[in-house]
Structure 1
Amino acid sequence: MSQSLPNPNTLLPLELVDKCIGSRIHIIMKNDKEMVGTLQGFDDFVNMLLDDVTEYESTPEGRKITKLDQILLNGNNIAMLVPGGEMPGESYEGH
Structure 2
Amino acid sequence: MSDIVLPLELIDKCIGSKIWILLTTDQEFVGKLVGFDDFVNVVLEDVEEYEGDKLISKRPKMLINSRQLAMLVPSGERTSSATKQLD
TM interval, short-chain normalised: 0.7 to 0.9
Q: How does 1:12-27 map to 2 (within 5 A)?
A: 12-27=6-21
Q: Provide, for residues 15-71 of structure 1, a one-character-per-residue CA deviation record: whole Å limited to 9, x for no partner.
A: 00000000000000001200000000000110000000001135xxx8451100000
Larger radius of gyration: 1
Kept after mapping to 1: 8 A contact 2:47/2:62: yes
Give 1:28's aligned residue. 22
**1:7 matches 2:11:** no
Structure 1 runs of 4+ aligned residues shifted over 4 Å read: none
Q: Which has the higher helix share?
A: 2
Query: Quick one: which amino acid aligns to residue 78 of structure 2?
Result: M
Give 1:52's aligned residue. 46
The counterpart of 1:76, out of the listed 42, 63, 67, is 67
TM-score (ref. length: structure 2): 0.82
What is the total number of aligned residue pairs between the two structures?
80
Q: Percent identity among equivalent residues? A: 52
Superposed CA RMSD in Å reads: 1.9
